[in-house]
Amino acid sequence: LEDGYKGLSHIPHPKDYKWENVVLSTHHYVFEENTADEHINKLNEHIKKVDAAIKKANIPFYLGEFNVAPKGS
């Protein structure tokens, strides 16, 4: 399942559709942060959301893509 850039709260529950062998995947891009600490904070926020989503759906997680610092890494 891909969140489709809509956020993890919009993903369907696999059991509702009788899906098996499903993995949750997101892309994590942060464009507004400038410092390493700001990026770490955003990543930690994302991890908390992912953790809640995978526990709710009882499926594994794969981080498909991410960035670190688009404003001059």
Q: Are 8 and 49 in contact (CB under 8 A)?
A: yes
Along the chain (73 residues), what's the average pLDDT of each consecutive run of 10 residues? 75 88 86 82 89 88 77 56
Tell me, what's the pLDDT at 43? Answer: 87
Tell me, what's the pLDDT at 60? Answer: 92
As a whole number of angstroms, the distance between CA 25 and CA 3 comes to: 7
Amino acid identity for residue 18 in this structure: K
